């Protein structure tokens, strides 16, 4: 474990994944080739990515009752992540994602029902306060209830803990919260919705990033899928193409690999653009295997490819 505490505040979701050569259009039924169930959720995936990259991770989430809730606890523990802040709602089911993956392209479609992780209370956040305010970095997404996100952002910001916000799945965020975020990491769609600039090329990506800088954020990363990643600060910018080490079989969780590893690299003290390059390697590696949290690479592997 490297020094630097990373708090991940986010979802745990049970992923139900079907693969097939073609994905159904509305009203259509198509036959798939493989079904798998596995642990996911943007919060958990990012926590696993950070943990496997040797981060000291504290995970805050909420799961439901019964078998799926119990399974979540087992899966979280198996990754070496503490259950201290894994809260439970006895009535609302653990979040579920219905994921279809096109096996020709590795692209996915996801319908996520956040369930229990949409019911995080103020009291639960208060229980995690000591760890939130003493973190070196906090990493958040949009798969929990917005009031809990708002409360946690304010708590972290007051304690001067840098906040990375991965605004996925995209949702409006109020103008008083956005400036409290240090680094925002949308993908193209999320950047387009939030900034109002249609992101479809390098000049529009620059313009969308400017929108966030104008709002008071310090750094912006826009992930561009198979095209790579763009990162911008007030004075500098880079574009890194995706690295293709191996054939892409499943892009689920690639953004999460990026965010989890970015948090570790920054907590470890790497320069921002170097951290982006390191995380870009991790994201590419994750697309070469099936699954969401299961596809996260280990630190050795990231370093090996990073140093190529
Ligand atoms: O980012 C991928 C994740 O999004 C999946 O694991 C699924 O749970 C969805 O929430």
Which atom of ligand 1 is the closest one to the Cα of 255? Answer: 1
Q: Choose, from 182, 256, 271, 300, the residue flagged as catalytic.
A: 256
Residue 112 CA to ligand 1 centre (angstroms): 7
Q: Looking at residue 243, what is its pLDDT?
A: 86
**Which pLDDT tens digit goes with each residue over 180-210?**
999 999 999 999 999 999 998 788 999 999 9
* Ligand 1: nearest atom to the Cα of 40: 6
- Residue 117 CA to residue 94 CA, distance in Å, equals 7
Say if CB 199 and CB 208 are below 8 A apart.
yes
Percent over 70 (pLDDT), the chain: 99
pLDDT of residue 191: 97
Is residue 256 part of the annotated active site? The answer reads: yes
- pLDDT band at residue 89 using 50, 70 and 90 as cut-offs: very high
- Residue 48 pLDDT level (bands cut at 50, 70, 90): very high
Q: Which of these, 3, 13, 59, lies nearest to 260 by C-alpha position?
A: 59
Is pLDDT above 90 for 2?
Answer: no
Output the pLDDT for position 226: 87
Distance from Cα 170 to the centre of ligand 1, integer Å: 13
Instruction: Give the tokens for residue 248.
Output: 């892409």
**Of all protein residues, whose CA lies closest to atom 2 belonging to ligand 1?**
253
Mean pLDDT of 210-231: 95
Q: Give the distance (Å) from ligand 1 centre to CA of residue 113.
A: 10
Would you state the pLDDT for residue 144?
A: 98
What pLDDT sits at residue 261? Answer: 98
For the Cβ of 283 lying below 6 angstroms from any atom of ligand 1, the answer is no
Residues 41 and 117: beta-carbon distance below 8 Å: yes
pLDDT recorded at residue 202: 81
State residue 1's pLDDT score. Answer: 64
Over residues 239-257, the mean pLDDT reads 91
Pocket test for ligand 1, best of 42, 109, 170 (most atoms within 8 A of CB): 42
8 A C-beta contact, residue 209 and residue 192: no
What pLDDT band is residue 106 in, cutting at 50, 70 and 90? confident
Does the pLDDT value for residue 3 go beyond 90? no
User: How far apart, in whole angstroms, are the C-alpha atoms of residue 279 and residue 258?
Assistant: 5
**Ligand 1 atom nearest to 256, measured from its CA:** 1
**Which H helix or E strand runs over 170?**
none
pLDDT tens digits for range 119-140? 999 999 999 999 999 999 999 9
Per-residue model confidence (pLDDT) at position 266: 96
Q: How far is the CA of 255 from the centre of ligand 1 (A)?
A: 10
């Amino acid at each position: 474990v490297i020094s630097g505490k990373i708090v991940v505040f986010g979802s745990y979701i049970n992923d139900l994944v079907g693969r097939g050569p073609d994905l159904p259009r509305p009203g259509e039924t198509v036959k798939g080739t493989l079904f798998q169930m596995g642990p996911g959720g943007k919060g958990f995936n990012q926590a696993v990515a950070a943990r496997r990259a040797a981060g000291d991770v504290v995970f805050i989430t909420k799961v439901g009752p019964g078998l799926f809730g119990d399974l979540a606890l087992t899966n979280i523990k198996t990754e070496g992540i503490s259950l201290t802040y894994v809260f439970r709602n006895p009535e609302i089911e653990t979040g579920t994602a219905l994921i279809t993956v096109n096996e020709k392209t590795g692209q996915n479609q996801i319908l996520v029902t956040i369930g229990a992780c949409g019911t995080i209370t103020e009291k639960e956040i208060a229980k995690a306060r000591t760890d939130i305010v003493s973190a070196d970095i906090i990493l958040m997404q949009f798969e929990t209830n917005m009031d809990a996100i708002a409360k946690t952002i304010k708590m972290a910001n007051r304690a001067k803990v840098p906040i990375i916000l991965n605004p996925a799945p995209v949702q409006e965020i109020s103008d008083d919260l956005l400036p409290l975020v240090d680094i925002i990491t949308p993908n193209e769609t999320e950047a387009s919705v939030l900034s109002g600039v249609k992101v479809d090329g390098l000049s529009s990506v620059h313009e969308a990033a400017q929108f966030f800088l104008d709002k008071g954020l310090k750094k912006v990363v826009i992930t561009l899928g198979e095209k790579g990643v763009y990162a911008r600060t007030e004075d500098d910018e880079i574009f890194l193409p995706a690295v293709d080490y191996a054939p892409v079989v499943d892009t689920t969780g690639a953004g999460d690999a990026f965010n989890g590893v970015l948090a570790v690299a920054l907590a470890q003290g790497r320069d921002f653009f170097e951290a982006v390059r390191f995380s870009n390697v991790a994201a590419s590696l994750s697309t070469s295997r099936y699954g969401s949290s299961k596809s996260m690479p280990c630190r050795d592997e990231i370093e090996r490819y990073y140093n190529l």
